[in-house]
Chain A
Amino acid sequence: MAVATPTTPIEVRPTTVDAGGRRRPSALPYALLLPSVAVLVIMLGYPLVRLVTLALQEYGLRQVFGQPAPWVGLDNFRTILGEDYFWTVLWRTLAFCFANVALTMVLGVLVALLLQALGRGMRVVVSTSLIVAWGMPALTATIIWQWMFDTEYGLVNWALGRQGESWLADQLTFFMVATIIVVWMGIPFVAFTVYAALTQIPVDIVEAARLDGAGARDVFRHVALPALKPILLILTSLSIIWDFRVFTQVYVLQKAGGVTRDTNLLGVYAYQISIGQNRFDIGAAVAVVMVAITIILTLVYLRAMVRTDEEL
């Protein structure tokens, strides 16, 4: 958009405040932020504080029915950290998370390179298909894959000629199905973001490298990869944060035949303890651990963001 900028700024109202903060501070921006801050403090800040206090109290079925909740210090944390099963679930969650992130990132980057290599027409076809997959709600996507992996009439069993195979009953194949769903939904975002970054790499740098005798692989490794590094860092940390908290997919697949104890991830586990068994105190302690791990992961992400986004 072409805009005529006056070369000599005309001071119309000298008391006003503009972007750039050149003039005196005003209360207006704070007033504009007030509704947002109020909503976030009440709906997010307060429940977060309550989460921590729950984790420091005894809060079971009796407290749900109105008994006072005694303070127990760090007892709830001692309980979960002393439990082998908690550690099993924690390591399982981390393993699931990193496997999914690795697959999503590698396949996402490959699809991005493919988008770049494709001609215009095919690129539109492929990216439209990817947007459709991306736009699918997690719940319906999970239900569709559940149907495709159905024991009796599922497409997968038909294609593999393995009638009656129940994929969800076994721990390993359960997580395989969950991984397929998470990765299927996660690839488009990575692919588009990386593709957008690829188109930003100046053509002349690539050509110069080619002239110096670099092959496609060298160009990718020595030109594209360094240029993509910041965005890859952001995408990886975002994916870690997202895949660490996978809930819907596991919840739905468990209901469809997974063995809960073998397939719990941290989020589903915290949900079961608190909402399912009314042990809000223990559930809250698990959730606090989850939030703490998320915060650490987020700090890594923020560092990457601050480096690339000039606004921050």
Chain B
Amino acid sequence: MTPRQRRRLKRVAVNGAGVVVAIVALFPVYWMVLTSFRRNIDVKSQTPSFLPTNATLDNYREVFDRDYFWTAMGNSALVTTIVVVLALAVAFLAAVALARFRFRGRKAFLIVVIMIQMVPAEALIISLFQVLDGRQLTNRIIGLSLTYLIFVLPFTIWTLRGFVSGVPLELEEAARVDGATRFGAFMRVTLPLVAPGLVATGIFAFILAWNEFIFALVIMNRPETQTLPVWLQAFNEGARGTDWGGVMAGSTVMALPVVVFFLIVQRKVTSGLTAGAVKG
């Protein structure tokens, strides 16, 4: 084999491996969407077809008409909104402190922030349920939202800290030379530069809260207080493998916004991810 042939062979092998990885990564998602548009009779066919044929919206109609779907959707929307707003507001202050000041206890706080993300929710849920129940906060949107801050806040603090540090202090100092107050300089110089970071972090906080399953499963145990993931799993359990079209339509409704958002922000929030951000 000439070196040229060898190089070409290597190219083909590498690209082939790339195609395999891409298919393995994408196929389950493709299959979810495909099934969601399938007629029940085609879902139960003995020889599956891999292309969209006889597409139907029946499964989506079924999902939208199902009991408590819109309630769950509303609950999820409300919880995620509260979590994003609270987390960004509270974490931003902490991020400024961590990025702009050197003070005693700073390092300890950073380490605690990392450690908190390691505490398994599965372990905490037992006593948290007790604590919330004792204060009539179970089955309440605010109870769940505050719970979500446990894992959303550390991630948000860590990521925002990175974004604030990214704005050179000299810019603020320059504004202050021009007569701005410390606060004014921060608001007019640093805040606009951090804004894209705030948006990216907010979107990621949304994803974390939207996906969360375990806390919601335990804390919101009534049909009318379920969030979307809990609703979906109840649907999945109840269907017992007889309504894959419907279950996949429900999964698509829940997963698609998340995947799209994640594609947008993935690059921006990576630093927070290596620092131990929660994983589903």
Taking beta carbons and an 8 Å cutoff, which residues of A are in contact with B? 1, 3-6, 10, 12-13, 16-21, 25-26, 28-30, 32-33, 35-36, 39-40, 43-44, 46-48, 50-51, 54, 111, 114, 117-119, 122-123, 125-126, 128-141, 143-148, 150-153, 155, 158, 184-189, 192-193, 196, 231, 234-235, 238, 241-242, 244-245, 247-248, 251-252, 255-256, 266-268, 270-271, 274-275, 280, 283-284, 287-288, 290-291, 294-295, 297-298, 301-302, 305, 309, 311-312
Contact = CB atoms under 8 A, between A and B. Distances in A.
B127 interface: yes
B149 A126 contact: no
B168 A1 contact: yes
Given A139-B213, A140-B251, A132 B26 contact: yes
Nearest to A21: B102
Interface stretch (B51-59, B62-70, B194-202, B271-279): B271-279
Pairs A-B, 9 closest by C-beta atoms:
A138-B280, A135-B262, A267-B122, A21-B102, A287-B123, A32-B97, A245-B120, A51-B127, A29-B101
A47 B26 contact: no
Contacts, number: 318
A248 B215 CA distance: 11
B190 to A, nearest CB: 12
B73 interface: no
Interface in B197-217: 207, 210-211, 213-214
Contacts of B232: 139-140, 143
B150 interface: yes
B270 A47 contact: no
Q: Is the interface of B mostly helix, strand, loop or mixed?
A: helix
Interface residues of B, number: 105
Contact of B182 (A13, A140, A311): A13
Given A43-B149, A193-B274, A271 B14 contact: no
A271 B131 contact: no
Contacts of B97: 28-30, 32-33
User: Which label, helix, strand, loop or mixed, suits the secondary structure of the A interface?
Assistant: helix
